[in-house]
Chain A
């Protein structure tokens, strides 16, 4: 993970973020039904997306880790889970801030929010299992199991909650569909946050690898 690549990616993320900011606040027209609050949408979708993307990475890294037993993969899973937890927390908070002006309630048990909440608990379980496991290697294995089981569970949770509550009452699907300007703004925002995710992931991953290496050295001396 050479520093040059990281600088470039960070720079790219900054550029994309600024572009997204401009698009969100200056370029895109105000949605007629919801007013300006609708612009939170361009923040919420990326948060939800990051929460999911992180978990996908955790899932794949966990599988490879269990198969190959190389700590680098565990570091990847750990780092992605950490960022994922932050992203999921963000998704829940932004989701509430969106729900309040639109639907009048801070929280609702609609499919997407509920599934996000469950995901949040799965992330917490991931870390809890690690710290309660007694020793590092066992903790890593247990966490990998949580990563796999949790990921497989997620679609079933979405299915069950969707059947349970039905879709948003008119919420996210706008009355006029998604105008091209909105689509552009959304895509840029998604790209900006995805690149940010990659930067943070790379950074955290190399830090984590350093931490485990140091721990190993200390154990060996």
Chain B
């Protein structure tokens, strides 16, 4: 079991990268949701939108 440390580190790094990327994607999704919310608020606050967009 000499070099088990290396195998562990390799797998750990890959897992860290994958999960890190997943968290990053979740962050982007939250960002999009926030932007959509603010857009929606913007539309609601317009009593009568000036003509078509």
Contact = CB atoms under 8 A, between A and B. Distances in A.
A185 to B, nearest CB: 14
Contact of B13 (A97, A196, A207): A97
Contacts of B42: 221
A97 B4 CA distance: 11
Interface in B1-53: 1-4, 6-7, 9-11, 13-14, 17-18, 20-22, 25, 28-29, 31-32, 35-36, 39, 42, 53
B28 A207 contact: yes
A203 B23 CA distance: 12
Contact of A36 (B4, B21, B31): B4
Interface residues of A, number: 30
Interface string A85-106: 0100110011001101100000
Contact of B14 (A94, A204, A217): A94
A212 B47 CA distance: 27
A210 B2 CA distance: 49
Contacts, number: 67
Per DSSP, chain A at the interface is: helix
A31 B1 CA distance: 13
Given A207-B28, A210-B32, A211-B32, A37 B17 contact: no
Contacts of B2: 35-37
Interface stretch (A39-47, A67-75, A134-142, A159-167): A39-47
A196 B19 CA distance: 12
A144 B10 CA distance: 32
A37 B7 contact: yes
Q: Which of B2, B11, B20 has the most CB of A within 10 A?
A: B11
A52 interface: no
A175 interface: no
Contacts of A35: 2-3
Interface in A178-221: 196, 200, 203-204, 207, 210-211, 214, 217-218, 220-221
A204 B3 CA distance: 36
A189 B2 CA distance: 24
Given A86-B17, A214-B35, A217-B39, A97 B9 contact: yes
A207 B29 CA distance: 7
B36 A39 contact: no
Given A90-B13, A221-B53, A36 B39 contact: no
Task: Rank and list the top 10 A-B pairs by shortest CB-CB distance, nearest first.
Answer: A37-B3, A101-B3, A97-B10, A40-B10, A94-B10, A93-B13, A214-B35, A90-B17, A97-B6, A101-B6
